[in-house]
């Protein structure tokens, strides 16, 4: 029971960290706020967001492997597959903002150029899509935890 509790705690901390940093990206990535410091901060925040996403994935897999219900139970549940699919979709969407932040930082370092307003708006829209999709994952999680649609 202690192992299950510690795995759940680690997973929750990773999830909360991911939410904090996707929220930070959404707050910072606004055309009216873009300056050199924000471009650099976005690149750093995105790295932390990526580390948090990896931690969410790792702790989630650890829960399925070492958790009370076990690997066999979890991986036969449709809701787990929905959670993982949503997570993968969020991860795929996050590639474009990550590439943009790297490109913006390189342009800033090379010639002091800030990104165009239209590009900032486009990247912010992708971040907002990620943030909204991330909010669906806990719904699948609570349904799964309560045995809804369980096999």
| pTM given for the model | 0.93
- Report the mean per-residue pLDDT for the chain: 97
Query: 13 CB contacts (<8 Å, ≥6 apart)?
Result: none
In whole angstroms, what is the distance from residue 137 CA to residue 16 CA? 13
Residue 28 lies in a domain: yes
Residue 151 lies in a domain: no
Residue 150 lies in a domain: no
Please write the tens of the pLDDT for every residue from 56-90: 999 999 999 999 899 999 999 999 999 999 999 99
Q: Is the pLDDT score of 55 beyond 90?
A: yes
Counted domains in the chain: 1
Residue 141 lies in a domain: yes
Percent pLDDT > 70 in the chain is: 100
- DSSP strands (E only) in 9-151: none
In whole angstroms, what is the distance from residue 63 CA to residue 61 CA? 5
Full residue range of the structural domain in which residue 63 is found: 2-145
Residue 140 lies in a domain: yes
Residue 71 lies in a domain: yes
């Amino acid at each position: 029971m202690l192992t299950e509790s510690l795995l759940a705690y680690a997973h929750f901390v990773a999830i909360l960290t991911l939410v904090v940093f996707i929220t930070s990206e959404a707050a910072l990535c606004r055309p009216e706020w873009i300056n050199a410091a924000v471009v650099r901060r976005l690149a750093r925040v995105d790295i932390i967001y990526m580390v948090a996403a990896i931690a969410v994935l790792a702790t989630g897999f650890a829960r399925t492997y070492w958790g009370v219900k076990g690997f066999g139970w979890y991986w036969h549940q449709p809701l787990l597959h929905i959670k993982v699919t949503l997570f993968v979709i969020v991860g795929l969407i996050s590639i474009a903002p990550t590439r943009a932040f790297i490109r913006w930082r390189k342009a800033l370092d090379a010639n002091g150029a800030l990104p165009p307003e239209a590009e900032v708006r486009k990247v912010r829209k992708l971040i907002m899509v990620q943030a909204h999709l991330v909010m669906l994952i806990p719904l699948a999680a609570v349904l799964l935890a309560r045995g809804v649609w369980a096999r």
